[in-house]
Amino acid sequence: MEHLNQTLFLWINATDPSTLGLLLGRWLANGLVYVFPLYLGLNWLRADAAGRDALVQAVLTAAVAMLLSWLIAKFWFHPRPFVVGIGHQYMPHKPTASFPSNHLSFIWALCAGLWLHPARRRAACLLALLGLPVAWARIYMGVHWPLDMAGAALNAILAALLCLPLRRQLVPGLRSLIEIPYRLVFAWPIRKGWLRA
């Protein structure tokens, strides 16, 4: 498995990239992830109760995935490619554990949490596809292995399964709590009808 991991890494990792390739790789590796919290925030402003429940479920799932990722790194440390001297590194990164990818665990866990709500499944699938260029870029830039991305996908699925029982009771309760300060902060645009209460 490790041989396959290294072979795939060397196939994707940049060897003589152009300046444009490095700029694109860096943006995809670190910048595209901000689309996901932006999606959550903008959708909250116009969503009904069921839609907001899906957003809360997504955030809970992502939080559980990040906890699982931290636990995995604590109990099974897998070094990054540049730490073991394989391939080329094109952006700075601390020599933390590589498996699973935190970026992709976060992205795909949000998508998995959304997918638990039937009305959000199409959005979940489209957003999950946006995770693929992030996965590619983090390998291209030399900070992750391909199997780190597979690990992130499995981590996201496990987090979604763990959060599934929370869908009926905890999620609506959390949504109601979040709506209290939201309605206070956005009272004026809500009264104007620009935002949903």
For the chain, the domains span: 24-182
The answer to pTM > 0.85 is: yes
Residues present in the chain in total: 197
- Identify whether the C-beta of residue 57 lies closer than 8 Å to the C-beta of residue 163: yes
- Identify whether the C-beta of residue 113 lies closer than 8 Å to the C-beta of residue 174: no
- Identify whether the C-beta of residue 110 lies closer than 8 Å to the C-beta of residue 127: yes
- Identify whether the C-beta of residue 159 lies closer than 8 Å to the C-beta of residue 64: yes
- Identify whether the C-beta of residue 110 lies closer than 8 Å to the C-beta of residue 61: yes
- Give the whole-angstrom CA distance, residue 109 versus residue 2: 25
Q: What is the pLDDT of residue 173?
A: 93
* Residue where the block lists tokens 């992205």: 107
Phi and psi based region of residue 54 (left: phi greater than 0; alpha: psi -120 to 50; beta: remaining): alpha
Radius of gyration of the chain, Cα coordinates, nearest whole angstrom: 19
Q: What is the pLDDT of residue 129?
A: 97
Q: What is the pLDDT of residue 60?
A: 97
Task: Please name the helix (run of DSSP H) or strand (run of DSSP E) that holds residue 131, with its range, or none.
Answer: helix 121-140
> Helix %, strand %, coil % for the chain, to 5?
75, 0, 25
Q: What is the pLDDT of residue 2?
A: 85
Q: What parts of the chain have a pLDDT lower than 50? A: none
Task: Please name the helix (run of DSSP H) or strand (run of DSSP E) that holds residue 78, with its range, or none.
Answer: none
